[in-house]
Amino acid sequence: MRQSLAVLYQVYRLATNARIRLVHSVLERLRMKHMGKPLNQQRDRPWAATLLLVSMVWLPMGCVQVVEGQAPSSEGSEESVAIVDVAQAGTESDDGLLSYTGTTEPAQQISLRSQADGQLLSLTVDAGDPVAAGQVIARLDDALLQSQVGEAQAELAARQFEVAQAETQVADALARVEQVNASLEQAQLDADRFQRLAEEGAIATQQAEIALTTLRTTQQELRSALEQVRTREQAIASAQQRVAVQAELVRQAQERLSYSTIVAPINGVVLDRLADPGDFIQSGQEVLKLGDFQDMQVVTQISDRDRSQVRVGQSVRVELDAFAGSSLTGQITRISPVADASSRLIPVYIAIPNTDGQISSGLIARVRFEAVTSQSVTVPETALELSEGDDDLVFIVTDEGEMATVQPRTVQVGDRRNGRVEILDGLTPGEAYVIRSNRPLQAGESVQRSLLSDS
C-alpha cells in the first residue's frame, strides 16, 4: 500500500510540475507509433484527447486520495520506483532530400595577368564583352623591350663574328701544318742522303749533322703547328657556345617583347576589368578575369554531417531563381577534401548544362541532393541523457511488470538529425529500451513502465 501511494504521489508531482511535458510525451508517442509517418489527425485526435481527459480527471482524484490518506514520507519518496517510458528498438528509413543554396559560376575561370612591366596603352574590352582565343585585347608600352631586343641582337652578331674569326685562324693554322709537313718531308730526304754520302766519305760528316738538325727542327715546327690548330678549334667551340647563349638571350628578349601584347587564351566572356589605359602595369598584376560560359557549375557548401550522403558522380536537382518553374539535372564533379575550420562546411561543385548560354554567373541556385537510402536503428536523443556520466549509454529493460529492471549498455552513435540519433552498434531491433525517466537511472535498478510505454 505504501509503495502504491508513493507511485501515485510521483505521478501527481509530475503532472502538476510538468503538464507541458506530458503533452510533449503524447505527441512523441504518436510519432513513435507511426515510425515517421504523417499523423492522421482525424484518427489520432480522439486518442490524444481521451488521454488528456483521463489525466485531467484521474490525476486530481489521485491527489485527493493522497491528501485524504497518508502522504508519503520523505523516506518513501527516496525509495520510490523510477517511472520510465519504454520503446521497442526498430529501424527507420532515411531517404529524405538534402536542400542547400549555392551560386552559379563558370567551370573555367582565368585570371589574365601581365607578364611584363609597362604603361597600359590600350584595353579594348570591358566586363561582359565576349572574347575569342588569340584575340589581342591589350597592349603595353614596348619601347624599352624593343631596345633590349636590339641590344641582344647586336651582341649576338658580335659573338657570331668571333666564331668567324676563330674559324679563319683555324684555316691558317691548317695551312701552316701543310707547309711544315712538306718541309719535313724534304728535310727527311736531305738527312737520309747526306747520311749516306757521309758514310761513303763523299762529304764531310758536319754536313750530315746539319741536315739531321734541320730535320729535327722541322719536326718541332710541325708539332707546334698542330697544337695551334687544336687551340684554334677550341676557340671556335667556345665562341659557338657564346653564340648559343646570346641567341637564347635574344629569344628571351623577343619573348618579353611579345608580353607587351595581351591576348585572350580561351573563348569566353570578360568577368571583370581591373585596369584602365594609362595605368602602369607591373609583371604579375591582374588585368582581366575571363570565364568560359559553355560549362557552368554550382558551388554550394554542405554540413559535415551530410558528407556521407553525397558522392562524386551523384545526380543533383538544381533550380535557379532566375528561371522560376524550371529545373536542371546536375552532377557532382568535385567535393573539397577540406572543410571550413569554423563553420564545418564542405564546398561541393556541381556541373550543370548551359547549352543555350542563358545561365550567367552569380545566380542563386537551389540544390537538392537525393540522400543515400539507409535502414538504421534510431532512438530519441533523450534516451542517451539518462545517465550521469558522459558515455553514450542506453538503458535496456529486462523482465516484465513489477520485476522490470534496467541495465546500461554502451552504444556507438552515428548521425544526429531531427531529435533522433542513429545507433551504429550496441542496440538491435526488438530490444526494449528507456526513452526517458523521471530521474537518473542506475544499473540493476527496478523501474515501472509508464502509460506511454510500448506494450
Asked whether residue 169 falls in the same domain as residue 252, the answer is yes
Q: Residue written as cell 500500500?
A: 1
Considering the domain boundaries, does residue 437 fall inside one?
A: yes
Considering the domain boundaries, does residue 280 fall inside one?
A: no
> Binning pLDDT at 50, 70 and 90, where does residue 252 land?
very high
What mean pLDDT is predicted for residues 382-405?
A: 80
Judge whether 352 and 298 are in contact, CB under 8 Å. yes
Candidates 100, 31, 91, 32; CA nearest to 371 is: 100
Torsion sign, CA atoms 138, 141, 143, 148 = negative
The helix/strand/coil state of 356 is: coil
CATH code: domain of residue 391: 2.40.420.20
Residue 373: per-residue pLDDT = 56
Residue 16: per-residue pLDDT = 47
Considering the domain boundaries, does residue 132 fall inside one?
A: no
Share of the chain above pLDDT 90, in %: 40
Asked whether residue 192 falls in the same domain as residue 292, the answer is no
- Residue 30's domain comprises 1-80
Considering the domain boundaries, does residue 246 fall inside one?
A: yes
Asked whether residue 331 falls in the same domain as residue 345, the answer is yes
Asked whether residue 344 falls in the same domain as residue 444, the answer is no
Considering the domain boundaries, does residue 133 fall inside one?
A: no
Considering the domain boundaries, does residue 122 fall inside one?
A: no
pTM of the predicted model over 0.85: no
Asked whether residue 355 falls in the same domain as residue 418, the answer is no
CATH code: domain of residue 319: 2.40.30.170
Residue 385 identity: E
Segment 292-337, tens digit of pLDDT? 999 999 999 999 988 888 999 999 999 999 998 888 999 999 999 9
Residue 104: per-residue pLDDT = 96
Considering the domain boundaries, does residue 452 fall inside one?
A: yes
Residue 195: per-residue pLDDT = 86
Into how many domains does the chain fold? 4
The helix/strand/coil state of 168 is: helix
Q: Which residue has the higher pLDDT, 428 or 263?
A: 263
Residue that terminates a domain, selected from 80, 106, 125: 80
The CA-atom distances, in angstroms, between 69 and each of 14, 44, 80, 165 are 19, 37, 17, 131
Segment 266-302, tens digit of pLDDT? 999 999 999 999 999 999 999 999 999 999 999 999 9
Considering the domain boundaries, does residue 264 fall inside one?
A: no
Asked whether residue 254 falls in the same domain as residue 159, the answer is yes
Q: Residue written as cell 758514310?
A: 199
Asked whether residue 319 falls in the same domain as residue 363, the answer is yes
Segment 94-121, tens digit of pLDDT? 555 789 999 999 999 999 999 999 999 9
